[in-house]
Chain A
Amino acid sequence: MFLQTLFTGLSVGGIYALMAVGYSLIFSILNFSNFAHGSVIMLGAYMGLGLASKFGLKLGFVVAGAMAGGGLLAVLNERLAYRKLRHRNAPSLYLMISAMGCSVFLENMVYVTIGSRFYAFPEFFTRRVVTFLGSSVSVMDLFALAFSLLAIGALGLFLARSRTGIAVRAGVCDMTMCSLMGVDTDRLVALVFLLAGALGGLAGTFMGVRYLVYPTMGWITNKAYIAAVIGGLGSLLGAIVGGVILGVVETFISAYVSSVLRDVFSFTILVALLVCMPNGLFGKSMEERV
């Protein structure tokens, strides 16, 4: 049972990590918590679902389509709801409230237009299970985990090696200086949102395949946010580690302490961590006049 719980925790943590990376990426460059990311994930799932069930596409195309859709949506979101605030140098809190507004808006738009029905993806994998030392892992989870790690790895490589990636990292360090050096910051920010949105689309599709698709599925992204905070907002590695830690800890609490009180633990960890280690495990120290 211990091993089974560990496997389950890792697979839950993998999904948290994939969602948390999007939060951290945007936080790293704009220094605010983009709560609308949860809605991008949710809409990514709907896009994937549409491609899979309306057009009957294969999993590869579905994932690619959802990533593209999620990316575009995130760029659009930035353009409409944040850009003006950025140009005005508004406090990060205003950006966060705007993000909150976007998330409430998008989620309820889905309610009003598509409805609250639950949907399921077609079964891409026959329910195959790999057994290891008496514990089972589904093939789908393994695939999802591998693909997520691949996507996050590619993102890391892109940020570390490519010319654009270096510009992004420069922007993370100092946006103003970056723009003085002749980098088009609007394009840079758009690129970051595109990447985060694409990861969101990917996360949404996996969540949809793993669970079901419905308007409030973005609710689980609160957990991803906690994961990002644990790892240290703004750090990609932190988001992954934070996600895995949260997933494993939660699963063990559910299995050995109480499954219904689990969220009390998650949120207590969040508050305690914010108070004791506001920069999380891998976060850079960030000062703001308070």
Chain B
Amino acid sequence: MSYILSITTLACINMIAVLGLAIFTGFTGLFSFGHAAFMGIGAYVSAILTYYYGVPFPLALACGVAASSAASLIIGIPTLRARLRSDYFAIAILGFGEALRVILENLSITNGARGLPGIAPYTTLPVVVLCLGLCVIVARNFLQSRYGAACIAVREDPVAAEMSGIHLFRTRLLSLALSAAYCGLSGGLLAHYLSFIQPVMFTLVQSTQILAAVIAGGLGSISGPLVASFLFIALPEALRVAQMWRLVAYGLILVLIMLFRPQGLLGHQEISRLFKRPAGEDH
């Protein structure tokens, strides 16, 4: 039983990060191979605050969220302003993530590459579910707001969006900062769940896992990536598949989805709509 609970907790923590990337990639149309770095910042900032300074857990989490959001501006402002080609942007953020990891590996407060053991396990399932619920509500409201509409417009046609008075740079930066905040929260929760973090957890592999869930779930959907992320965590655990086979499957899924269903499993739809309309109807 407690094993199932722990898998559910991990899946929910992962879903928060996936939700963040869904806002950025799914709704704003920019890809990132580096969002694990934002998880890393959230994890390290909150863990260091509770571990060394005894800061209360909610406050530490909030600081982690703020820090990853702020860090996203560091890479976001120059690259988004320069209007890099979309694949160059994905690579620039990958470079940012790798550089950040090397820095984490060399600070003494993070205990370097060896990782920080013995973080207090504050994260429990109710806490995670509460956070996830709040995140979903915030994401929905954001996407239904003026800003969310601007994001979708930018994704569909940047030129047309710009012509109709949407500030491309600001819209993308806002979306990036919000998605980084989600990842920061996810990282903070992860740190206080695992009670051990090290820089190598927040690498390209982790970024790929988040991205795979977003792509597989459907670009432009909230529920799709959430379901995909849950399946990605829960299925291999239920089948007791080794980590390596899981990664083999992630790679294959990325390729197959690009080849046969680039809009993802749900496309632009939400699960709730599947029940209202006849299932399988295309967007």
Are chains A and B touching directly in their complex (CB below 8 angstroms)? yes
| Residues of chain A whose beta carbon lies under 8 Å from any beta carbon of chain B | 32-33, 80-81, 84-85, 90-98, 100-109, 111-112, 222, 225-226, 229, 260-261, 263-264, 267-268, 270-271, 274-276, 278, 286, 288-290
Residues of A within 8 A of B252 (CB): 101, 105
Shortest C-beta distance, A170 to chain B (Å), equals: 23
A-B contacts, 18 listed (Cβ < 8 Å): A32-B87, A81-B259, A85-B258, A85-B259, A96-B87, A97-B254, A100-B33, A102-B251, A104-B205, A104-B248, A112-B245, A260-B105, A260-B106, A267-B96, A274-B82, A276-B82, A278-B82, A286-B85
Q: Is the CB of B98 within 8 A of A222?
A: yes
Residues of B within 8 A of A112 (CB): 242, 244-245, 248
A284 to B208, CA, bound (A): 30
Shortest C-beta distance, B87 to chain A (Å), equals: 5
B43 beta carbon closer than 8 Å to chain A: no
Q: Is the CB of B244 within 8 A of A111?
A: yes
Shortest C-beta distance, A193 to chain B (Å), equals: 16
Residues of B within 8 A of A33 (CB): 87, 91
Q: Is the CB of A263 within 8 A of B102?
A: yes
Consensus secondary structure, chain A interface: helix
Residues of A within 8 A of B106 (CB): 260-261
Number of B residues whose C-beta is below 8 Å from A?
45
Q: Given contacts A103-B251, A107-B251, list 15 more A-B pairs with CB under 8 A.
A: A80-B255, A92-B87, A97-B258, A100-B33, A100-B254, A104-B248, A105-B251, A105-B254, A108-B251, A111-B244, A261-B106, A267-B99, A275-B84, A275-B92, A290-B158
In order of increasing CB-CB distance, the 8 nearest A-B pairs are A101-B254, A105-B251, A104-B251, A267-B99, A101-B255, A267-B95, A108-B247, A98-B258
Q: Which of A91, A108, A111, A264 contacts B102 (CB 8 A)?
A: A264
Interface string of B152-174 (1 = CB under 8 A from A): 00000011000000000000000
B75 beta carbon closer than 8 Å to chain A: yes
Q: Is the CB of A268 within 8 A of B85?
A: no
Q: Is the CB of A108 within 8 A of B248?
A: yes
Residues of A within 8 A of B88 (CB): 274, 278
Identify which of residues 11-58 in chain B touch chain A, using a CB-to-CB cut-off of 8 Å.
31, 33
Interface string of B71-91 (1 = CB under 8 A from A): 000010011001111111111
Residues of B within 8 A of A105 (CB): 248, 250-252, 254-255
Shortest C-beta distance, A158 to chain B (Å), equals: 28
Q: Is the CB of B255 within 8 A of A275?
A: no
Residues of B within 8 A of A271 (CB): 75, 78-79, 92, 95-96, 99
A104 to B105, CA, bound (A): 24
| Residues of chain B whose beta carbon lies under 8 Å from any beta carbon of chain A | 31, 33, 75, 78-79, 82-92, 95-96, 98-99, 102-103, 105-106, 158-159, 205, 208, 211-212, 215, 242, 244-245, 247-248, 250-255, 258-259, 262
Residues of B within 8 A of A276 (CB): 82
Shortest C-beta distance, A89 to chain B (Å), equals: 12
Shortest C-beta distance, A234 to chain B (Å), equals: 12
Residues of A within 8 A of B103 (CB): 264
Residues of A within 8 A of B33 (CB): 100
Consensus secondary structure, chain B interface: helix
Q: Is the CB of A275 within 8 A of B258?
A: no
Task: Please give me the residue from chain B that is nearest to A260 by CB atom.
Answer: B106
Residues of B within 8 A of A32 (CB): 87
Residues of B within 8 A of A278 (CB): 82, 84-85, 88
Shortest C-beta distance, A262 to chain B (Å), equals: 8
Q: Which of B86, B91, B245 contacts A274 (CB 8 A)?
A: B91
Task: Please give me the residue from chain A that is nearest to B250 by CB atom.
Answer: A104
Q: Is the CB of A104 within 8 A of B247?
A: yes
Q: Is the CB of B91 within 8 A of A106?
A: no
Q: Is the CB of A106 within 8 A of B251?
A: yes
Q: Is the CB of B78 within 8 A of A275?
A: yes
Residues of A within 8 A of B254 (CB): 97-98, 100-101, 104-105
Shortest C-beta distance, B189 to chain A (Å), equals: 25
Task: Please give me the residue from chain B that is nearest to A276 by CB atom.
Answer: B82
Q: Is the CB of B98 within 8 A of A100?
A: no
Q: Which of A94, A104, A109 contacts B262 (CB 8 A)?
A: A94
Residues of B within 8 A of A261 (CB): 102, 106
Task: Please give me the residue from chain B that is nearest to A229 by CB atom.
Answer: B91
Residues of A within 8 A of B258 (CB): 81, 85, 90, 94-95, 97-98, 101
A80 to B106, CA, bound (A): 42
Residues of A within 8 A of B92 (CB): 270-271, 274-275
